Structure 1
């Protein structure tokens, strides 16, 4: 009978050894959060663009001759009227001197013809000579004066041609490398290209926008979803290829009123000050156009977004208090915030830190005291969430 307590104790011990200890539930990760809500955000449009000079001049030969000297430093800034090349003027100087001599001879002939008319005038009144001789003298005088006028015009032309032997800058700007060297023959009939000059400040940036996007903006303006102030200039900001921003904003100054049938796009252009010559003609940049404001937009901090090959993604707190990955359509970035075109709706609780520690389905707790997200638009109504601004 004494064996029963011992057997019972052994049974209890064996039973306790066969049970697995219960694991403690993981503690929720504490995260910072913000609640998504509509706000007025800039209607920012990002487009690739190309820098163009406001003025560009091709310096070409206006006389035929041999280049004697280059008078400028390649790649430097030149002023309008500054000498750039010297073409051998010897032949044109000789032509000018010959024309000048012809003018002196023509003037002498005209003076003699005028003197004959003055001598014939009293004689014809006295019938000492015939009227025919007097009229012939007047005609000869007029012809001589016309010859003088013709040669004077030829002399002015010769003077211009002689002046063209010094090739000058037609505009101020940065001059490129020389297309001809000393000793080269340049031709006026062919208009030999000698160099180019590009005005560096201000500069244009040209870009194209799809016709469908332009239609969306116009509809937004009509419905009030996009708001603009009448007379307010449309600002444009630039980013270089390495991602750095150009510090001076430009202003949209041209919008084409027709669609290119080949590309289906509309041409736009902005003008930018370029005092430091940071923007170079032909350079490709990224333009951000601030075309009004979206009345119902969504903007989130940059640090809350993970950008990958498939676009942007964020973490939100789901209804069961766990982390949920949400794919979002990213718009432009303004002031360190991403504009969200699709993927989030008001009431979503966005996680803004500890993204590297998060995994989908991990329990999380908002340090800001924000609750879990409300049912999504798809769950509540059976329709996908609306895009920002709709």
Structure 2
């Protein structure tokens, strides 16, 4: 009796242990998506230094007392507009002295010419010797040279007198006025009177490392660098407050050589600045577009990083997963741009990959397409040089 009861209990326990096994063997239902090829554009940010197309220091070309300041700090001035006035009294006196010397030289020339005219017929008639004529002709040559020197001194005095009025060499905006009225100024002063910037266009300078520059060259059509620059699309300028400058610029110059210290080459982008919103010394970043044709989009959430490598779980025909390493080319929104490791049409697991094992059987469910999740999005990578 006891033996039969014991056997019946063992059978009951065995049947209870077998029932949960079939439930645990059910494969997990996980969202799966198909990887597709597409063309994506990413953007890289490069810090830039902003300068006007012309930046000049305003300095006096003669020494003197600064009599008047004719403009205000930060004013917009036109080319040729008077800016400063130096006391011109000493230079007017020098001009008057030079004019007097010129008049004396003109009189001496007339006298020397008369001597030549007097001796010429006398020598011809052999009344006097030709030595006297040659002496008169030599004196005439000296008189001509003295007149030329006097005229040069008059021109120099006029030029110096003109330098007493300092004018704007270009149109633009003035900087601070560093010298005050009444100061003694001169061309050898360490400090300039002010600075003048022509900012109707601005130049922005940024640097690319050697790898970035090689990628930059491969992006655009053309055999020569000028031809490639002609195909570079307009670039955006992001200001210090992260606002976007309203006008796009054009990359139009590449430096002739790499900097040996930094291993980078300088590029220039030019922007119209008709309203003068930007000034020399502003800072910002250039946003450079980079096209990535025929890349595969893989959601970052569908990847796992192990030992500095990134993996996805690909789903085979039998719905078993396999872990595959991928090569990342860039990032766009919430997706990696993948060049190797998966191919167009492959299925990958989108979620729940933390608990997956190699060769595990899953039950695929429909997930969102990787490229649909980033429609209209771009990634911006900030590059510090």
Determine the structure 2 residue equivalent to 1:60: 59
Determine the structure 1 residue equivalent to 2:293: 295
Query: 2:98, 2:150 within 8 Å by CA — same for their partners in 1?
Result: yes
Determine the structure 1 residue equivalent to 2:235: 236
Deviation string, structure 1 residues 293-334 (Cα, Å, up to 9, x no partner) = 321246799xx99xxxxxxxxxx99989xxxxxxx989687x
State which of 363, 367, 371 in structure 1 corresponds to 2:366.
Answer: 371
Determine the structure 1 residue equivalent to 2:3: none
Query: Match of 1:282, SS?
Result: coil
Deviation at 1:249, TM superposition (A): 0.8
Q: How does 1:230-309 map to 2 (within 5 A)?
A: 231-291=230-290, 293-297=291-295
Query: 2:109, 2:143 within 8 Å by CA — same for their partners in 1?
Result: yes
Q: Structure 1 residues 339 and 48, CA, compared in 2 at 3 Å: closer, same or farther?
A: farther
Q: Structure 1 residues 138 and 196, CA, compared in 2 at 3 Å: closer, same or farther?
A: same
Deviation string, structure 1 residues 110-165 (Cα, Å, up to 9, x no partner) = 11111111111111111222211111011111110110011101100110000000
Point out where structure 1 has 5 or more consecutive residues left out of the alignment: 1-30, 223-227, 306-315, 321-327, 352-359, 362-369, 375-390
Deviation at 1:217, TM superposition (A): 4.3
Query: 1:61, 1:191 within 8 Å by CA — same for their partners in 2?
Result: no
Q: Distance in 2 between matches of 1:157 and 1:339?
A: 72
Deviation string, structure 1 residues 256-287 (Cα, Å, up to 9, x no partner) = 24322211212111011111222222222121
Query: 1:61, 1:186 within 8 Å by CA — same for their partners in 2?
Result: yes
Q: How does 1:24-39 map to 2 (within 5 A)?
A: 37-39=36-38
Point out where structure 2 has 5 or more consecutive residues left out of the alignment: 1-30, 222-226, 302-311, 320-326, 356-364, 370-385
Query: 1:45, 1:332 within 8 Å by CA — same for their partners in 2?
Result: no
Q: How does 1:58-137 map to 2 (within 5 A)?
A: 58-137=57-136
More divergent stretch after superposition (261-270 vs 87-96):
261-270
More divergent stretch after superposition (260-269 vs 138-147):
260-269
Query: Match of 2:131, SS?
Result: helix
Query: Match of 1:200, SS?
Result: strand
Query: 1:348, 1:373 within 8 Å by CA — same for their partners in 2?
Result: no
TM-score by length of 1: 0.67
Q: How does 1:138-157 map to 2 (within 5 A)?
A: 138-157=137-156
Q: Structure 1 residues 188 and 214, CA, compared in 2 at 3 Å: closer, same or farther?
A: closer
More divergent stretch after superposition (77-86 vs 122-131):
122-131
Q: Distance in 2 between matches of 1:212 and 1:125?
A: 89
Deviation string, structure 1 residues 202-224 (Cα, Å, up to 9, x no partner) = 101111111122234456779xx
- C-alpha RMSD over aligned residues: 3.8
Q: Structure 1 residues 217 and 66, CA, compared in 2 at 3 Å: closer, same or farther?
A: closer
Q: Distance in 1 between matches of 2:270 and 2:337?
A: 28
Query: 2:298, 2:338 within 8 Å by CA — same for their partners in 1?
Result: no
Q: Distance in 2 between matches of 1:299 and 1:166?
A: 67
Q: Distance in 1 between matches of 2:278 and 2:349?
A: 42
Determine the structure 2 residue equivalent to 1:309: none
Determine the structure 2 residue equivalent to 1:211: 210
Deviation at 1:41, TM superposition (A): 2.5
Q: Distance in 2 between matches of 1:207 and 1:143?
A: 62
Query: 2:229, 2:251 within 8 Å by CA — same for their partners in 1?
Result: no
Q: Is the aligned partner of 1:180 residue 2:175?
A: no
Deviation at 1:80, TM superposition (A): 1.0
Query: 1:68, 1:86 within 8 Å by CA — same for their partners in 2?
Result: yes
Q: Distance in 2 between matches of 1:229 and 1:113?
A: 71
Q: Distance in 1 between matches of 2:241 and 2:348?
A: 34
